[in-house]
Structure 1
Amino acid sequence: MYVITDQLKNIGFSVNRLDDIIKRNNYTRKFHTMEYYCIYIFMEDIDLEIENIPYSVKAGNIAFLGPEKQIVFGKADGHQILIIAFSSSFYERSSKDSLFLNSQLFFNYYTDLFIAPFLNTEQMKVVFMERMEAFQKKDENLYVSAAHNAIERLILDAFLYIPNEEINKDVKFDYLHYVNRFKILLQRDYKSEKKVSHYACELNITSRRLTEMTEYVLGKTAKSIIIEKVITEFKRALAFTNFTISEISYDLGFNDEGNFSNFVKKHTGKNPSEMK
């Protein structure tokens, strides 16, 4: 994401203005979220790109971005944009917290950036700058608690904009941690690793166990989730880049365009050229 601050390293949470982050990183506007979850509070308009997909976000919106994503900020001043970054270990204290992190806010196949409106700009400034600074100066434990509560408030407000069927799931909360980690690993490795066994090994569980968990939580096998991810990224590349099918197939980890065409045909019923 950027040069990691001591605060983010030590407690797993930080809140900064975008212009401060850009200045600290030699004025680069391209970042990677790494293992962190990010919430952006936009109090000015900005154009940006996430995984090469363009977005235009108006002031008065809040956005959620999951781990292992690349983001490029446009040429807004940045002093009216707050960036909250936190780790899963910082936020997860209960099964409810795990459900929040595993939600459509941070893991959404339709859009990498989940955007929801907020109403009170001045309140955002008070909560995430003035109060956070006051708590930080007073006591670290209070600061951590205040940060957790503030993040939860933003998440709960944004949940109003998630379809009910995505929220009202009867899930085994002990599965959520593994499915959540699987999604993060998939975002990191989908170009090079397309076997369930790779992700199961990373999680120190069996492939069968991982599939049992994804079927319960998401209603899909782990293999189908991997395939869906590759197909989704192919469609995005077709729609938003000028890459040829051969270049896209290579970028997605296929050494032979013929193998890629067979893969797409098998799982979509169409040749890659028919999906433009």
Structure 2
Amino acid sequence: MYKITDQLKNIGFSINRLDYIISRNNNRRELNTLEYFCIYIILEDIHLTVESVLYPLKRGNIAFVGPQKNIVFGENKKADVYVIAFSSSFYERSNKDSLFINSQLFYNYDSHIFIAPLINIEQMRVIFMERMENFRNKDESLYISAAHNAIERLMLDAFLHIPTEEIKKDIKFDYMYYVNRFKVLLQRDYKKAKKVAYYAQELNISSRKLTEMTEYVLGKTAKHIIIEKLITECKKALNFSNSTISEISYELGFSNEGNFTNFIKKHTGKNPSEMK
């Protein structure tokens, strides 16, 4: 299985040349996007297979692929393809951000991939390959802010190529309001509330309706999203804090270490101590 870079793991964002990613993948050209949103800057012709469907991509395009997609990269000669990967927690700072990453760019109904022309290739080279590296060497907080702004610019440019009629008729834009609020509430209350019914009540809708919305927008049940959040926070605590498993279980709102261990074991197949 492909091992993500330390930068992507630590801050939720990375940009690398495709040849570097393939090298890290033991020269295998197959990988999975996992929980990450991916944008490919195509500066040379390449074939991309997503979920067994072949997409010939021409130089001068950008391609958007959502989480949990199986991808195979075709051969490329110049190594002039760049891969941007980021997590929802890295990018989402507002409802507008949630609207962007839960849109047709990454959850296209008719295709596993959304392709749009790259407005200015040379300008993108400066922004992503030169300016970003300067920020990275100078200050991490500036780098993160620059990365967020650069991703937003690419998405805004791509939005120009989604037909207005499709955006207007897209029921997801109604659903996204509730899903975004659910995710905000979950971020706030995941330590104390682990039931779908709690969040549905906060949103003044039924549990069934909330799950319908999350399945439509994110492809996951509301319960699954809650479980994923708890597991993610567990991994963060295990890897980036000095807390004991008992302390982590308390911090995450479990009544005791045993319940916490059983929960993690049930949903990951591992004990908490094995997740580092």
Deviation at 1:123, TM superposition (A): 1.3
* In structure 2, distance between residues paired with 1:179 and 1:8: 25
Distance in 2, matches of 1:52 and 1:214, equals: 23
Write out per-residue CA displacement over residues 212-271 of structure 1, whole angstroms, 9 at most, x where no aligned residue. Answer: 6778x89xxx9xxxxxxxxxxxxxxxxxxxxxxxxxxxxxxxxxxxxxxxxxxxxxxxxx
Tell me which residue corresponds to 1:81.
81
Task: Indicate the SS of the match to 1:171.
Answer: helix
What secondary structure sits across from 2:174 in the alignment?
coil
* Distance verdict in 2 for CA 1:212–1:47, change over 3 Å: closer
SS of residue matched to 1:44: coil
> Match for 2:179 among 155, 176, 182?
176
**Partner residue, 1:246:** none
Residues matched between the structures, number = 200
Give the equivalent residue in structure 2 for 1:208.
209
1:151 equivalent in alignment to 2:151: yes
1:41 matched to 2:41: yes
Query: What RMSD over aligned residues (CA atoms) do the two structures have, in Å?
Result: 2.9
1:210 shift after superposition: 2.4
Name the residue aligned to 1:189.
none
User: 1:125 offset after TM fit, Å?
Assistant: 1.2
**Shift in alpha-carbon separation, 1:65–1:153, aligned structure 2, 3 A:** same
In structure 2, do the counterparts of structure 1 residues 141 and 56 end up closer, same or farther at CA, with 3 Å as the change threshold? same
Secondary structure of the structure 1 residue equivalent to 2:34: coil
C-alpha contact 2:64 2:115 (8 A) present in aligned 1? yes
Equivalents in 1 of 2:98, 2:22: separation in Å?
A: 31
Deviation at 1:173, TM superposition (A): 5.3
Aligned equivalents of 1:26, 1:212: Cα separation in 2: 39
Matched AA of 1:159: F
Q: What's the TM-score, normalizing by structure 2?
A: 0.65
Bigger RCO (CA 8 Å, 6+ sep):
1
Which runs of 5 or more residues in structure 2 are unaligned?
184-194, 201-206, 222-276
Structure 1 gaps of 5+ residues are 181-199, 223-276
- Large movers: runs of 4+ above 4 Å: 212-215
Is 1:50 the counterpart of 2:59? The answer is: no
**Structure 1 residue 24, shift from structure 2 partner:** 1.6
Q: What are the Cα deviations for residues 70-98 of structure 1, in whole angstroms up to 9, with x where unaligned?
A: 11001113621000000000000000001
User: Where does 1:1-276 land on structure 2 (aligned, <5 Å)?
Assistant: 2-77=2-77, 79-168=79-168, 171=174, 174-177=177-180, 206-211=207-212
- CA-to-aligned-CA distance 1:80-130 (integer Å, 9 cap, x gap): 100000000000000000100111000012011100001322211111111
* Distance in 2 (alpha carbons) for counterparts of 1:71 and 1:95: 29
